[in-house]
């Protein structure tokens, strides 16, 4: 009749401009897993810095407790202090000597 067929159109993004910066649209394809990975890396860096300067934060406290417990085990290994974990360490030391 009128020789008209349906059509569709769209927009293909080739470059993105934001605040004076031009970048590829692939930058916008960030997955939640990528964000989580970057966040956890930042938290690990924060914990490292806080441990190095001796400033306790929520990120560094578990590491501080673990390091304190390691020191406690080291003291217990060479003294007469006894508790369950120290007994395990002392058994390992007896076997290796």
On whether residue 69 sits in a domain, the answer given is yes
pLDDT at 75: 92
On whether residue 2 sits in a domain, the answer given is no
pLDDT at 97: 56
pLDDT at 80: 85
On whether residue 6 sits in a domain, the answer given is no
3-state secondary structure of 57: coil
* Domain total in the chain: 1
Model pTM above 0.85: no
pLDDT at 66: 94
C-alpha dihedral over 22, 28, 32, 35, to 10 degrees?
A: -10
On whether residue 14 sits in a domain, the answer given is no
On whether residue 80 sits in a domain, the answer given is yes
On whether residue 21 sits in a domain, the answer given is no
Average confidence (pLDDT) per 10 residues, the chain, 97 residues = 81 89 86 94 95 93 93 89 86 75
What is the span of the domain harbouring residue 61?
30-96
Give which of 29, 28, 30, 60 is closest to 44, Cα–Cα.
60
Give which of 75, 27, 34 is closest to 90, Cα–Cα.
75
């Amino acid at each position: 009749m009128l020789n008209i067929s349906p059509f569709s159109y769209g927009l293909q993004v080739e470059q993105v401009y934001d605040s004076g910066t031009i970048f590829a649209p692939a930058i916008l394809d960030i997955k939640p897993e990528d964000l989580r990975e970057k966040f956890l890396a930042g938290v690990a860096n924060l914990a490292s810095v806080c441990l190095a300067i001796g400033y306790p934060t929520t990120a560094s406290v578990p590491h501080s407790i673990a390091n304190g417990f390691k020191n406690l085990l080291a003291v217990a290994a060479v003294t007469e202090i006894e508790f369950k974990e120290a007994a395990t360490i002392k058994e390992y030391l007896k076997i290796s000597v």
